[in-house]
Structures are given as structure tokens and as C-alpha cells.
């Protein structure tokens, strides 16, 4: 139910007062006074052959913690901080994977895309539960009705600029970094929002290990069928595809493949977004620098200009 597919016609939504706000909601709930939300559902969204487990988690906030697409919530897992006995755990930030209307289109839920963090001892190869991710395991193990402490919302870097409904948005993700883009794409292609009609181009690059690791693939594939002029989708499957040099196919290899087109779009004002593990950025930056030099451009100057024009959006962890 939660990971719904797009269908014709678009889902009509009753515009929230958020649509009229000039600025995004920020820090409505602080670490010392979080909001208590309720888990609605937890759904495994990867296949059997995916390395690791990724879950789609829907949380009910009853409309009390409104947000815009591209923002994050903080989650405080239960229990005490082992480094500060007697104190709660530190807040963990998660990008929100739904639009401001939530998965049920009523403005009362928010969704996360969470990979369960586990640790394997490099010598024995065995899982060490004492080093597993506290918050990701709490969320993936939670059941409908469980309570969850929420702070935020936070973040302005990944907000979707809507002043030009015909703009181009190039979205680059590794794994669960796809979360904010799911929100963008549902807003563009699934919801019938009276005051936002998207007529531009959304181009998603998603890097994962294999086909079983693809996230929200049915949803994105549906947009490809229904909006072929407005949506492009390129997958980089590192364990199943080879790049032009015969090595593993990573997201930066896909960027290199389409680099001429990407650079032209950036020159024409396209926005480019990066979300995922921070380890993705050096390889991507190296690729972009190499392409810029082949075009006789200085990457440092180009990057500086993109940042100045607010076309460059990065959120890595």
C-alpha cells in the first residue's frame, strides 16, 4: 500500500497551507523536546540477492511535523547513549522519502528509506551485533504502532527549486540516497498539485549493487512509461554491469557516459543533486573534472559558478 505505483490520472491532493509558505518549516521540534510519532508500516523493499536489507518505513506525524521535499527528520532511538550514560542517544538524520503529502496523500505521514547497518568482523567474517547501527536496526525492527521520537525538519540544501516548473533536475544517488528524489518525483509525476505543474526534465542516476538492490524501481519505471518526455532513468549495477574499461559500473561511469549532455544541461541552468554515501563524491568529482578538462574548461571555475548560481546540491553522509 505504501509504495504505491503511479497511475492515470494523477492523485488529487488537497493543497496544504505549506503550499503558500514562502520558506520551508525548520526545527519545529528540538532534540530536548522531540515529537512522538507512530510507526505505520515497515516494508522490506529489496530482493533476496541484495547485499543487506533496506526498508521503506512510514511514520505518522499527524500533520504536526510538516516538511518540504528534500528535508530530513532527526530520529532519537530509544535507550541511553553508551558514551554518555544517563543521556539519550544522539540524533540520527534521515532524508525524507515522501512528498509533503506523505504516502497516503493527507499530509500526515513521512517515509524513510533505511538500510539496516550491520558490522562484519573482517577476520572471522561473522556479524558482530555489538557494533550494529543502533537507529537503523531500531527502525527496521519496529512494528506498526511503535512510537518514535522525531526532531526537525531540517535542511535547505536539497529543497526542490520550484520557481521554474520547466527546469531540468539531474539527480544522482547511491543506494538509500535515492530517498529525496522519490519525494521530488512523486510531486512531479504522481500528485496533482494545483499550483505545481512540472513540465521540465527529471533525470535520475541510481547506483546499487544489483537488480535485487534497486529501490522503488516499479514506481520509477512507471514514470518512464507515462512521462517519457519528462523523465529519464539510468541504473548503475556495480555487480552486474561493466563500464567501458571492463571494470565495475558505478554511478560516475554513467555520468561519464552522458557527460556531454550533462554539461550542456548545466550550462543551460540545470540543477544537479548528489545524495548517498560520502564516498561517492571523490569518484564523481574526478569524473567531472576529467570531462571538463577534455572540454577545455576549468572544473574549479565551473564548480564555483554552479555553486554561485545555486545549481549544485549535495547531501552525503
The answer to whether residue 94 is catalytic is yes
Give dist(CA 38, CA 59) in Å, integer.
6
Predicted confidence at residue 264, as pLDDT, reads 96
Predicted confidence (pLDDT) per residue in 80-101, tens digit: 998 899 999 999 999 999 999 9
At 38, which helix (H) or strand (E)? Answer: strand 35-44
- Residue of 120, 107, 160, 189 whose CA lies nearest to 272: 160
Residue 232's Cα: distance from chain center in Å? 17
Predicted confidence at residue 178, as pLDDT, reads 98
DSSP 158-189: T----S-TT-EEEEEEEGGGGHHHHHHHIIII
pLDDT of 5 > 80? The answer is: no
The span from the first CA to the last CA of the chain, in angstroms, equals 29
Predicted confidence at residue 245, as pLDDT, reads 92
Contact 103, 57 (CB under 8 A): no
Pairing of strands 271-276, 168-174: parallel
Give dist(CA 249, CA 78) in Å, integer.
39
Predicted confidence (pLDDT) per residue in 115-130, tens digit: 998 877 677 777 676 6
Predicted confidence at residue 194, as pLDDT, reads 86
Q: How confident is the model at residue 6 (pLDDT cuts 50, 70, 90)?
A: very low
The answer to whether residue 154 is catalytic is no
Q: How confident is the model at residue 239 (pLDDT cuts 50, 70, 90)?
A: very high
pLDDT of 186 > 60? The answer is: yes
Among the listed residues 55, 113, 140, 275, the single catalytic one is 275
Q: Which residue has the cell 490520472?
A: 9
Exposed (0-12), middle (13-18) or buried (19+): which is 293, by Cβ within 10 Å? exposed
Look up the pTM and report it: 0.93
Q: Which residue has the cell 541510481?
A: 206
Among the listed residues 119, 298, 300, 317, the single catalytic one is 317
Average pLDDT over residues 161-166: 92
Secondary structure class of 97 (helix, strand, coil): coil
pLDDT of 305 > 50? The answer is: yes
Give dist(CA 276, CA 263) in Å, integer.
22
Percent of the chain with pLDDT over 70: 96
Binding positions for NADP(+):
95, 115, 176, 238-239, 248, 276-277, 315
What are the chain's domains?
A: 21-154 (2.40.30.10), 168-316 (3.40.50.80)
pLDDT of 181 > 50? The answer is: yes
Among the listed residues 41, 95, 98, 213, the single catalytic one is 95
The answer to whether residue 101 is catalytic is no
pLDDT of 303 > 80? The answer is: yes
What average pLDDT does the chain have? Answer: 93
Predicted confidence at residue 125, as pLDDT, reads 72
- Residue of 59, 31, 28, 58 whose CA lies nearest to 43: 58
In the DSSP assignment, the letter for residue 91 is P
Predicted confidence at residue 17, as pLDDT, reads 83
Return phi, psi of residue 235, to 5°: -105, 140
pLDDT of 1 > 50? The answer is: no
**Backbone region of residue 220 per phi and psi (left: phi > 0; alpha: psi in -120 to 50; beta: other values):** alpha
The answer to whether residue 256 is catalytic is no
Among the listed residues 69, 184, 216, 315, the single catalytic one is 315
Strands (DSSP E) contained in 225-280 are 231-237, 271-276
**Backbone region of residue 132 per phi and psi (left: phi > 0; alpha: psi in -120 to 50; beta: other values):** beta
Exposed (0-12), middle (13-18) or buried (19+): which is 32, by Cβ within 10 Å? exposed
Among the listed residues 94, 101, 181, 250, the single catalytic one is 94
At 192, which helix (H) or strand (E)? Answer: strand 191-192
Cell numbers given for 227: 512521462
Predicted confidence at residue 4, as pLDDT, reads 53
pLDDT of 162 > 60? The answer is: yes
The answer to whether residue 317 is catalytic is yes
Amino acid at each position: 500500500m505504501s509504495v504505491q505505483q503511479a497511475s492515470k490520472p494523477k492523485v488529487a491532493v488537497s493543497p496544504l497551507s505549506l503550499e503558500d509558505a514562502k520558506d520551508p518549516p525548520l526545527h519545529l521540534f528540538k532534540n530536548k523536546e522531540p515529537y512522538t510519532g507512530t510507526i505505520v508500516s515497515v516494508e522490506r523493499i529489496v530482493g533476496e540477492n541484495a547485499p543487506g536489507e533496506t526498508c521503506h518505513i512510514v511514520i505518522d506525524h499527524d500533520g504536526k511535523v510538516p516538511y518540504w521535499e528534500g528535508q530530513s527528520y532527526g530520529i532519537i532511538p530509544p535507550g541511553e547513549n553508551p558514551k554518555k550514560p544517563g543521556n539519550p542517544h544522539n540524533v540520527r538524520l534521515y532524508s525524507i522519502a515522501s512528498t509533503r503529502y506523505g504516502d497516503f496523500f493527507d499530509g500526515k505521514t513521512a517515509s524513510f528509506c533505511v538500510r539496516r547497518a550491520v558490522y562484519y568482523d573482517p577476520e572471522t567474517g561473522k556479524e558482530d551485533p555489538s557494533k550494529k547501527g543502533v537507529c537503523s536496526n531500531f527502525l527496521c525492527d519496529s512494528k506498526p504502532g511503535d512510537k518514535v521520537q522525531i526532531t526537525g525538519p531540517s535542511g535547505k540544501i536539497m529543497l526542490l527549486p520550484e520557481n521554474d516548473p520547466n527546469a531540468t533536475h539531474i539527480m544522482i544517488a547511491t543506494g538509500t540516497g535515492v530517498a529525496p528524489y522519490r519525494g521530488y518525483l512523486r510531486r512531479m509525476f504522481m500528485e496533482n498539485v494545483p499550483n505545481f505543474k512540472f513540465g521540465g526534465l527529471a533525470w535520475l542516476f541510481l547506483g546499487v549493487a544489483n537488480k535485487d538492490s534497486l529501490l522503488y524501481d516499479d514506481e520509477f519505471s512507471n514514470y518512464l512509461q507515462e512521462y517519457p518526455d519528462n523523465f529519464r532513468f539510468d541504473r548503475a549495477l556495480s555487480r552486474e554491469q561493466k563500464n567501458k574499461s571492463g571494470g565495475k559500473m558505478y554511478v560516475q561511469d554513467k555520468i561519464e557516459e552522458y557527460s556531454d549532455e550533462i554539461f550542456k544541461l548545466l550550462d543551460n541552468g540545470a540543477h544537479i543533486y548528489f545524495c548517498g554515501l560520502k564516498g561517492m563524491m571523490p569518484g564523481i568529482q574526478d569524473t567531472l573534472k576529467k570531462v571538463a578538462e577534455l572540454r577545455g574548461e576549468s572544473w574549479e571555475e565551473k564548480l564555483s559558478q554552479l555553486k554561485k548560481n545555486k545549481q549544485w546540491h549535495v547531501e552525503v553522509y
